Amino acid sequence: MSRQRTAACAAAFALAGLIGCAEPTVYQNTSWGMNEKALRTARPASAAAGDKLWLEHVTINALNAAATYRLGPKGLQDVTIAFDPVRVTKDQYIDTYHQVKALLSDKYGAPEAEATDLVVRSQKYRITQAPDYQSQVIFRTPLALIQLTCAGNCDGTTGNNILITYGMPRAPTEGL
């Protein structure tokens, strides 16, 4: 590293020490525990969508989605990103899931766990219909437990869901 770059880095760290460090962000510029007022400031495009829920329309890599911020007794509790089901064929739907998985892998590294069922399953119970496709990928970071979930009938009608959920971090021994 050059002397100029080293001096610049040292100056940046000194300045950060003088003005204080911001809390690490979880999703966009939100952090665990932030209250309603702080959430409104951090995400001004969000709107109340119910008691302790805030909703914001977002675009991630040209994919439309809705971000839902859920506040609990101790502030921000989790963030869920639900992608619009715009793909209509099974291959396109699964392709969208893999695109989102690649984005998360680029940002957080290899997933900790993954479970996929590509087989169209028969209905085991007459009460519920099993979806055509299901997959879940888990990423664990120091700031969040991130779950990418995909489940749907892949028929272009209803039930196609690709979700990212950012939850408070837990130790691996606490389960996923």
Confidence of residue 130 (pLDDT cuts 50, 70, 90): low
DSSP H helices in 62-150: 90-108
- Please give the Cα distance from 22 to 128 (Å, whole number): 46
Task: Please tell me the chain's helix, strand, coil percentages from 3-state DSSP, rounded to the nearest 5.
Answer: 25, 35, 40
Q: Which of 47-56, 139-148, 151-160 has the lowest mean pLDDT?
A: 151-160
Angstrom CA distances, 27 to 78, 88, 107, 166, stand at: 9, 28, 12, 8
Give Cα 37 distance to the centre of its chain: 22
Task: State pTM to two decimals.
Answer: 0.72
Which has the higher per-residue pLDDT, 85 or 41?
41
Give the contacts of 3 (CB within 8 A, at least 6 positions apart): none
Whether residue 102 is predicted with pLDDT greater than 80 in this model: the reply is: yes
| Helices vs. strands in the chain: H and E counts, helices first | 3, 8
- pLDDT tens, 133-147? 678 889 988 889 998
